[in-house]
Amino acid sequence: MKKVLIGMSGGVDSSVAAILLQKEGYEVIGLTFKFTEDFDSSDAVNVCDKLNIKLHIIDYCELFKEKIITPFLNDYHRGITPNPCVLCNKEVKINLLYQKMLELNCDYIATGHYAKIIDGKLYVSEDIKKDQTYFLAQVPKHILSKLLLPLEGITKEKVREIARENDLINANRKDSTDVCFITSKFKDYMYKHMNNIPGDVIDIKTNKIIGKHQGLSNYTIGQRKGLNIGGTKDRIYVVKKDMEKNILYIASGNDNIYLNSTSCLVNNFNLLDDQKITKAQARFRYRQPLTDVEIEYIGSNEVIVKYPSGVNAVTPGQACVIYLNNQCLGGGIIQQIITK
């Protein structure tokens, strides 16, 4: 019997993934990561007891702080808007699962992500609304052949149905959509950890001061809500942050040139395909519509992604993920944008 080590968060997705693996005849072993001191593992313990799964709970708080929390805060200090979930799958979750798989002499690892793996290649989920390839694009290529995704081809509604049929404690629990290590309101957490020095808000078109911001770390490129700026009927967007002068620049209108770019430099690019595809599609934020792009490979892990038709609010720190015919070809972190 093949052995599978599955990441058990205590949520409904990983729980149902474990059930499906058992039905397929695998011996399932659970691994729960303790990433923060206040993490509650009781749901994971409850589910594993019910399914007769041996569960390992390992404290990775220090490693998580070093690899995820500290870089996350450092990026915000530098005016960059990071995506910690992308980095976590690459540096922590999937990597630690793989290492523990080797230690425990298991044959595979598994998670409750919504995506497909066919012949060691990553494809989008059948449930496109829940597709999570955006967050898996930086998983090392050699790990994909050892990664099982039991939820592929299953909708979220079906997952909850299976959970109810098995009387799981988390069957009807709402999905978590927040950053996992932030248990308070995001704004409160950032206010506590950032240097919240107020400064001027300037209209980039007129160069006039139109308001005050409450610290640049509270804003991201493309943001339009929570700016607290009146006196205009048009929508207002954040288009630039000057960290040295502590100035927040805004512009009005949905299609303003200050928000639009035609290419970006992407580093830490993780190529998941055997070929260096030069024409494909890209997504610059989770669930964003795909955009036709051209890819220029300029180094071992750097590419320039070109999108001549232009895209609004492409933001340094976010992930750029490449697709072709429902296959995820890889992705990296947006380092710099290039305007028209």
- pLDDT tens track of the chain, all 340 residues? 899 999 999 999 999 999 999 999 999 999 999 998 888 899 999 999 999 999 999 999 999 999 999 999 999 988 899 999 999 998 899 999 999 999 999 999 999 999 999 999 999 998 888 899 999 999 999 999 999 999 998 888 999 999 999 999 998 887 776 688 887 788 888 888 888 899 999 999 999 999 999 899 889 998 988 787 766 677 889 999 999 999 999 998 776 788 899 999 999 999 999 899 999 999 999 989 999 999 999 988 999 999 999 999 999 999 999 999 999 999 999 999 987 6
What's the confidence (pLDDT) of residue 16?
A: 97
Domain residue extents for the chain = 3-165, 186-252, 260-339
**Residue type at 156?**
K
Question: In the numeric block, which tokens belong to residue 144?
Answer: 């994909």
Helix (H, G, I), strand (E, B) or coil at 187: helix
Question: CB of 121 within 8 A of CB of 327?
Answer: yes
Residues known to be catalytic:
88, 180
Domain 3-165, CATH class in plain words: alpha beta
CATH code at 186-252: 2.30.30.280
User: Whole-angstrom Cα distance, residue 330 to residue 246?
Assistant: 35
Give me the helix-helix angle, 12-23 and 156-165, nearest 10°. Answer: 70
Residue range 260-339 forms a domain whose CATH class is mainly beta
DSSP 8-state code for residue 289: P
- pLDDT reported for residue 111: 97
Q: Assess contact for 262 and 314: CB atoms under 8 A.
A: no
Predicted local confidence at residue 171, as pLDDT: 85
3-state percent breakdown (helix, strand, coil) of the chain, nearest 5: 25, 30, 45
CA distance 51 to 47: 6
How many residues in the chain?
A: 340
Q: d(Cα 86, Cα 319) in Å, to the nearest integer?
A: 7
